[in-house]
Structure 1
Amino acid sequence: METEWDYRRKRLFEIIEIGLPGDVASQVYDAFNILSIVINLVVSVMNTFDDLHARFGPWLVTIEAVTVAFFAADFAMRLWTAKFLRPSLTEPRAVLRYIFSFSGLVDLLSFLPYYLPVFFPSGAVAFRMFRVARVFRLFRVNAYYDSLGVITQVISSKRQQLFSSVFILLVLMLASSLCMYSLEHDAQPEVFSNAFSGIWWSVSTLLTIGYGDIYPVTTMGKIFSIFITFLGVGMVAIPTGIISAGFVDQYTRIKRISEYADEDEVHFIRVALTEHDSWSGKTIQQLGLPHGVIVVAIQRGHEVVVPRGSVKLMDNDVLVLGAESVGSSDQHHIELKELELRQHNPWNGQRIRDLDISRQTLIVIVKRKGRMLIPNGDLTLHQGDRVILYTRTRMAHASSIWL
């Protein structure tokens, strides 16, 4: 049974994780987290300028101390709520899994090097180098935006091809270094002094950066350098093409999913239970739902409950019911259309019984300012109402019969 203490921990977990729509506290925390990361990095850059450090030094030190303290508090809260991040693990294993994950190590290195010189003054210079890890906290911004997440998905899906291209590039760098050593050692013994002295030349040539501090002087060395330069252009283009193709595939897949969703919609119903509803107090198994209707989710306060058969429904629960979609191959085709009454619509101000509509079309629901109205004949329609029209046709050969 969930205690009040566990509920508070779970609520804290919901706040420090990515905020859901409508969860104001979580969204405010996300915004403050991103702002702290950006401010801390800006302060770190400003500290490298002597004139800015001399002018705003005390302010920069204070801002850095506050943001680092927030990073430490954020890490402590994530440790405390780690079991909700990985509910399948025991709490000690969930904590260890978080600490040794990439995000956990980045979170730890974001504040730990700042405080270590207090206990180990002799290592202050070495600890200062680890503060660079704060830059990696920017990857947390990636989790808040789906468009940035595409980059991670593309690299993850194409990792094998990228590893293969990098491996081939490393082999070519080593081979070209050995060849250039053989061609240039006699002419430039001080430059190409051993087999690995040409690594820098092969890197600058294959990666097309053209630094130019090491270059061949013999005829054969120059010919070989030309060949490696052309090969380097092609090798650099391979990972570029892989990533570009990955982006095209990913956006095509997203677009295709969106198109499929428009073509074959799944219909859901949202039902809020009150203390007078007959479903309140019953388990899902006891509801006796018709075939093809399922409980998709149960919203209980800020928590989403998995709708297992043994779950007991409570007052103020919000049920999301899913119904089987009707395909075009069915014998009966059900069509629902929603119509919004605007300013000059002739239905404005008329009773439903007086509307000039076909007998084959029925008004099943009228939405008015968030309320659902039963469309009896005396109901008068107004501007802004949303009217749900129901049409049922029987698909028989080339003709259709209105019912």
Structure 2
Amino acid sequence: MTLLKARRRAFDILERDLPGDQVADAVHYFLIATILLSVIGAVLATVQSLEIRDQWWFTVGEHIALGIFIVEYVARLWVAPEHPLRRGLSAGAARLRYAVTPGAIIDFLAILPLFFALVHEHDFHAVMVLRLLRFLKLARYSSGFNALYLAVKRERYALVSCFLILCAGVLMAATAMYLAERAAQPVSFGSIPASMWWAMATLTTVGYGDVVPITTVGRIIGAVTMVSGLVMLALPIAIISSSFSEVISKHNFVVTFSMLSRLRPFSELGAPELGDLLPLLNSRSFDRGHQVVRRGAVAEHLFVVLEGRVETETPDGPVVLGPGDVFGLVPGAEGALAAPVRALAKTKILAIEENELHMLTARHPGVVRRLVAAARRNEEG
């Protein structure tokens, strides 16, 4: 096996993009288990009564975990040029670009205790805190973390507006309390900045109780502030929860750039096209025998099979579709009835909604033309 083939194989294992790759699955779950054991050990080591931090097996286990994370970090740097978005770069530039991504930074934080211990050998508690940062590595393997990130990203403008409203509420509450309480409590409410601590603690419904109004007017302002805080916090919570629920329903598994680049309709796309396409794709899973599209349903999505097999009806009879095949809605046929489609095995499918398909058509018409041509070929059998 040549070096390039070995690097490609290592990339496939680390990214776990090939369906049915048992080696990639084993490495995936092994790394998750290592992360969990390392974090649990770091937590238990802070319990004095257990006295495990001086045990030889704890030290050996920590060094083994650290070695595993170092190997993983170095391996991910090595395979960085294989990523679809970095294939046009030199090996050094691709690795440098990967090194500043959030995932790479988290990987570096996982091995940071080694370098920290070399400088501060006896600062046990600081090293323990750094070890707990390894828990963040689970974000790479969890679809839940990915869904939360997508939910926050989708609603970022609304969340910024909520933050500005909260800042305005803090300023108004602090100003009102300063005017009402500055004479009675010059230490706690002698200035607007000093009053902001009370305003923030009250608006966020924490209410530490270390600073409280004592005048009648101050208590009335405090009551209004507490009620306003419930409303202000309910806004971002409702926005995030509804967006998170919607993302979870549309994204049953994490879709990566390398997954996308392996499919026939997307194999020749460049980094800009893949970058615009990935956020538009919804990922769905179907068990064997389940209906992907029901008979008589209106075509509202364009589907691409990622893994598994589905069967659809055509004028020439049933046709089996596999990875890379396209079916469903095509532009100009809105409102048409879709052919029934059934999963023949456990199947993973990527879906593009009607409005997102129009958005993609405006940005990259060539991509849509390829998808439409593939879908029409499959419909005609």
Query: Residue 26 of structure 2 aligns with which residue?
Result: 28
- Pair 1:123–1:266, CA change in 2 (3 A): closer
Query: Residue 66 of structure 2 aligns with which residue?
Result: 68
- Pair 1:116–1:337, CA change in 2 (3 A): closer
Q: CA deviation at 1:196?
A: 1.9
Match of residue 175, structure 1, among 172, 179, 184: 172
Query: Quick check: 2:109–2:133 contact (8 Å CA) kept in 1?
Result: yes
2-structure distance, mates of 1:326, 1:74: 42
Q: CA deviation at 1:198?
A: 2.1
2-structure distance, mates of 1:326, 1:218: 66
Query: Residue 271 of structure 2 aligns with which residue?
Result: none
1-structure distance, mates of 2:80, 2:130: 25
Deviations 1:201-235 (A, max 9, x none): 11221111222111100111111111111110100
Mapping for residues 119-198 of structure 1, pairs under 5 Å: 119=119, 121=121, 129-142=129-142, 145=143, 149-198=146-195
Query: Quick check: 2:42–2:128 contact (8 Å CA) kept in 1?
Result: no
Query: Residue 16 of structure 1 aligns with which residue?
Result: 14
Deviations 1:343-376 (A, max 9, x none): xxxxxxxxxxxxxxxxxxxxxxxxxxxxxxxxxx
Query: Residue 207 of structure 2 aligns with which residue?
Result: 210
Q: What fraction of aligned residue pairs are identical, expressed as a percent? A: 26
Query: Residue 81 of structure 1 aligns with which residue?
Result: 79
2-structure distance, mates of 1:125, 1:56: 14
- Pair 1:257–1:56, CA change in 2 (3 A): closer
2-structure distance, mates of 1:194, 1:41: 44
Query: Quick check: 2:205–2:226 contact (8 Å CA) kept in 1?
Result: yes
Mapping for residues 279-294 of structure 1, pairs under 5 Å: none
Query: Residue 106 of structure 1 aligns with which residue?
Result: 106
Q: Unmatched 5+ residue regions in structure 1?
A: 271-296, 298-318, 330-334, 341-403
Query: Quick check: 2:151–2:244 contact (8 Å CA) kept in 1?
Result: yes
- Pair 1:266–1:18, CA change in 2 (3 A): closer
What TM-score does the superposition give when structure 2 sets the normalisation length? 0.64
Q: CA deviation at 1:320?
A: 6.8
Match of residue 197, structure 2, among 181, 185, 200: 200
| 1:234 partnered with 2:231 | yes
Read off the aligned partner of 1:163 and give its amino acid letter.
V
1-structure distance, mates of 2:325, 2:52: 64
What TM-score does the superposition give when structure 1 sets the normalisation length? 0.60
Query: Residue 118 of structure 1 aligns with which residue?
Result: 118
2-structure distance, mates of 1:154, 1:55: 40
Q: Unmatched 5+ residue regions in structure 2?
A: 253-281, 285-290, 308-320, 334-338, 345-381
Deviations 1:255-288 (A, max 9, x none): 99978745569799x9xxxxxxxxxxxxxxxxxx
Query: Quick check: 1:208–1:233 contact (8 Å CA) kept in 2?
Result: yes
Query: Residue 219 of structure 1 aligns with which residue?
Result: 216
| 1:50 partnered with 2:48 | yes
Instruction: From the CA coordinates, give the structure whose radius of gyration is larger.
Output: 1
Query: Residue 396 of structure 1 aligns with which residue?
Result: none
SS in 1 for 2:188: coil
SS in 2 for 1:197: helix
Read off the aligned partner of 1:72 and give its amino acid letter.
I
Query: Quick check: 2:175–2:192 contact (8 Å CA) kept in 1?
Result: yes
Query: Residue 263 of structure 2 aligns with which residue?
Result: none
2-structure distance, mates of 1:172, 1:125: 39
- Pair 1:182–1:127, CA change in 2 (3 A): farther
Pairwise CA RMSD: 3.8
2-structure distance, mates of 1:209, 1:84: 48
Read off the aligned partner of 1:190 and give its amino acid letter.
V
2-structure distance, mates of 1:12, 1:254: 26
- Pair 1:200–1:323, CA change in 2 (3 A): closer
Task: Return the structure number with greater relative CO, CA threshold 8 A, min gap 6.
Answer: 2
Read off the aligned partner of 2:70 and give its amino acid letter.
A
Query: Residue 290 of structure 1 aligns with which residue?
Result: none
Deviations 1:273-305 (A, max 9, x none): xxxxxxxxxxxxxxxxxxxxxxxx9xxxxxxxx
Read off the aligned partner of 1:212 and give its amino acid letter.
G
SS in 2 for 1:80: helix
Query: Residue 392 of structure 1 aligns with which residue?
Result: none
- Pair 1:181–1:130, CA change in 2 (3 A): farther
- Pair 1:151–1:92, CA change in 2 (3 A): same
- Pair 1:176–1:245, CA change in 2 (3 A): same
Read off the aligned partner of 1:94 and give its amino acid letter.
A
Query: Residue 283 of structure 1 aligns with which residue?
Result: none
Q: Where is the helix percentage greater, Structure 1 or Structure 2?
A: 2
Query: Residue 313 of structure 2 aligns with which residue?
Result: none
**Number of residue pairs aligned between Structure 1 and Structure 2:** 282
Query: Quick check: 2:42–2:132 contact (8 Å CA) kept in 1?
Result: no
Query: Quick check: 1:20–1:27 contact (8 Å CA) kept in 2?
Result: no
Query: Quick check: 1:19–1:30 contact (8 Å CA) kept in 2?
Result: no
Query: Residue 93 of structure 1 aligns with which residue?
Result: 93
1-structure distance, mates of 2:213, 2:140: 46
